[in-house]
Amino acid sequence: MMFMFFSHSPIYLTKKRRAKKENGRAMDPSLISGMTPFLGFLLTFFLFSLFTAHTRRRRAGYGGSGRGSLPPGPPGLPLVGNIFQLGSNPHRSLAVFSKTYGPIMSLKLGRLTAVVISSPEVAKEALKTHDQVLSARTITEPIRAVDHHKNSVVWISSSLVLWRFLRKTMARTLFAPQNLDGIQAIRMRKVEELMSLVNNFCERGEAIDMARASFVAAFNIISNALFSVDLATYDFNKSSCEFHDAVVHLMEVTGKPNVGDYFRFLSFLDLQGSRKEAKLCVDKLFRVFQEFIDARMAKRLSQEPKEASSTDMLDSLLDLTQQNKDEFTLDNLKHLLLDLFVAGTDTNSSTMEWAMAELIRNPEKMVRAQSEIREVIGENCVVQESDIPRLPYLQAIVKETLRLHPPAALIPRKPESDVQISGFLLPKDTQVFVNVWAIGRDSSVWEDPMTFEPDRFLLREIDVRGRDFELIPFGSGRKMCPGISMSLKTMSVALASLLYCFDWKLQNGVVPQNIDMSEAFGLTLHKAKPLCLVPIKKPTLSSS
Ligand code: HEM
């Protein structure tokens, strides 16, 4: 999911960028250099701010309690507030702060007031009781630069007619149950291709980068569901296609911290160039979308209506633009396509990577999962989506992975009017974050929370569909993720296939206990060091 906050290391990186990140995850140098003018500005205004800070903080209600004031929170510096206290993993810093300041606390991020929610009870109050008021999101600079905030289902408020139209459109096309079944063949084909790629690595005895391989599969599932073509390639040595790179770069740009978000009056300076970069990427992507649209329109014109038999989403969307000329323009259509690529690829692949990382660290759990799958599927078969309900341990693994490693660690929301939560006042436009990561690791919610223990979901009836607030990796309420079913289907069948067809080992004598599990916060919560595993073919299965 595309949420930006403080990050230095976003999403799926191109080869060059990934190498750069691996050498220095702690602080992105481009961030420091990008912020140099900003730091100069800060010094200039520091004394002035010291003078006025006291008054401002009192007015903002810091440290107060009860009706009419913001929740308590850590003291910050004048002007910048708590920005520099959050570090490169804000979800972790915020979880630590919440131990002192409680399950609802406030911070100052430059000029922005933020409220962070870190318990299931308060999350329920925000996302269920006050769902309607809290169904907007704070718009960041790169998003604003490309007018995405006026068109995107992710970014516009649920009170807008366009949002309702877009959600209905997704629910009736891409995510409609009959369509999800219809594009099952696409998912199966892409999983098959992934297995054949893994098999090549297996035959060469080489390690495969799990996230990268899963990312290409997830990307091509979306591109085929939308346009009936592959838009990413497994050829890791070839610079992959322009379109795929532009999506990846856009995710990086929008995942970076941005001075203009914390000091709106500086945004016109575009100090880090992120507005410009985002615009370049989106222009490129929209050009490609336009080519697809033109080609499809031409094909439709040259065919008799009864011959038009395409099954992808582009046809359904083009029909909608013709039937609802005022409500749904070609521009709206392109923004929707963009949302689906950005929201639906990296989330899936990073969950796959974390699941495999947890399993390789817990070999007995990997063996248990493999035994379950191999027993249910039998010898020399292919895992089908219809097999998944008979694989409870595999499903528990997916949930446990999402508990410990939610791709959207901080879910951003914004109240459209003043709202009272847990007795505190959140003024209109406060930046609200639900710290899903902290809830998933809270010892008052979960027994032995730091242990990867899928069994907990076999013993306890708890789901990820936004009703159990202890586990809300897909969010909850009206802005909840619409891709949940598609995502669970894709991840389950891909993971089951990887475990069914291959055994796995670490490369170069790395022992499971030494796997680096550190995180890189970005648009999604990534594994900072890519997980590379060597696949080994099961001797009992034929190698066909
Ligand atoms: C592991 C996979 C995924 C996770 C964990 C995930 C998580 C999330 C979360 C936390 C939100 C925000 C919910 C809220 O505000 O309450 C969200 C929104 C969204 N997701 Fe996902 N997502 C995943 C996969 C997908 C896929 C595959 C798609 C589409 C192909 C998708 C499309 C969207 C869209 C369009 C929204 C915006 C909804 C709105 O604001 O109205 N997601 N997702």
Whether ligand 1 lies within 6 angstroms of the CB of 223 is answered as no
Q: Which of 1, 164, 169 to mutate to test the pocket of ligand 1 (most atoms within 8 A of CB)?
A: 1
Give pTM, 2 decimals: 0.88
Classify domain 15-537 by CATH number. Answer: 1.10.630.10
Dihedral (C-alpha) 27, 29, 31, 36: value to the nearest 10 degrees? 120
The b/e string for 158-187 (b: 16+ C-beta within 10 A; e otherwise) is beeebbebbbebbeebbbeeebbeebeebb
State if residue 473 touches ligand 1 by the CB under 6 angstroms criterion: yes
Sign of CA dihedral 54, 60, 65, 67: positive
CA atoms of 415 and 52, how far apart (whole Å): 27
Q: State what percent of residues in the chain have pLDDT above 90.
A: 65
pLDDT interval class at 61 (50, 70, 90): very low
Hey, which bits of 474-540 come out as E strands?
502-506, 519-520, 526-527, 532-537
Could you tell me if the CB of 1 is within 6 A of ligand 1? yes
| Separation of CA 267 and ligand 1 centre (Å) | 27
The predicted structure's pLDDT at residue 30 = 38
Higher-confidence residue of 3 and 486: namely 486
Query: CA-CA distance, 79 to 90, in Å (whole number)?
Result: 19
Helix (H) or strand (E) holding 436: helix 436-440
- Give the number of the atom of ligand 1 that is nearest the alpha carbon of residue 163: 41
Q: What distance in Å separates the CA atoms of residue 427 and residue 60, rounded to the nearest whole number? A: 10
Instruction: Kindly state if the Cβ of 476 falls inside 6 Å of ligand 1.
Output: yes
Nearest to 252 by CA among 210, 232, 281: 281
Complete DSSP assignment for 113-158: EEEEE-SHHHHHIIIIITTTTT-B-PPPHHHHHTTHHHH-TTTS-T
Q: Evaluate whether 189 touches 168 at the Cβ level (below 8 Å).
A: no
| Contact criterion met (CB below 8 Å) for 211 and 527 | yes
pLDDT digits (tens, 9 = 90+) for 251-304: 888 877 788 888 888 888 888 888 999 999 999 999 999 999 999 999 888 876
Cβ of 434 less than 6 Å from ligand 1 = no
Contact 293, 318 (CB under 8 A): yes
Task: Judge if the beta carbon of residue 348 lies within 6 A of ligand 1.
Answer: yes
pLDDT at position 56, please? 41
Confidence of residue 214 (pLDDT cuts 50, 70, 90): very high
Gap between the Cα atoms of 312 and 174, Å rounded: 8
Residue 113 has pLDDT above 60, yes or no: yes
Output the residue whose Cα is nearest ligand 1's atom 9. Answer: 474
For 27, the 3-state DSSP assignment is: coil
Report residue 408: phi and psi, to 5°. Answer: -100, 90
The full set of domain ranges for the chain reads 15-537
Please give the distance, rounded to the nearest whole angstrom, from the Cα atom of residue 59 to the centre of ligand 1: 36
- Least confident span in 23-37, 223-237, 250-264: 23-37
CA 407 to ligand 1: nearest atom: 5
**Contact 12/211 with Cβ under 8 angstroms?**
yes
Lowest mean pLDDT among 213-227, 481-495, 527-541: 527-541
Task: Report which protein residue has its CA nearest ligand 1's atom 36.
Answer: 481
Is the beta carbon of 466 within 6 A of some atom in ligand 1?
no
Per-residue pLDDT of 139-185, as tens digits, reads 888 888 889 999 999 999 999 999 999 999 999 999 988 888 878 99
Q: Are 221 and 349 in contact (CB under 8 A)?
A: no
**pLDDT at position 309 over 70:** no
Could you give the count of Cα atoms lying within 13 Å of 213 in the half-sphere of its Cβ?
26
Residue ranges with strand state E in 327-465:
410-413, 419-421, 424-426, 431-435
Instruction: Decide if pLDDT at 322 tops 80.
Output: yes
Q: Which amino acid is at 381?
A: C
Query: So what's the pLDDT on residue 67?
Result: 56
**How many other C-beta atoms can be found within 10 angstroms of the C-beta atom of residue 365?**
20
In the predicted model, is pLDDT for residue 53 greater than 50?
A: no
| Exposure on the CB side of residue 137, measured as CA atoms within 13 A | 26
Residues 60 and 113 sit within 8 Å (Cβ to Cβ): yes
Q: Poorest-confidence range of 207-216, 244-253, 534-543? A: 534-543
- Please tell me the distance from the alpha carbon of residue 374 to that of residue 379, in angstroms, as a whole number: 7
Q: What is the CA radius of gyration of the chain?
A: 23
DSSP per residue, 440-485? HT-TTTSSSTTS--TTHHHHS---SSSSSTT--TT--STTS-TTHH
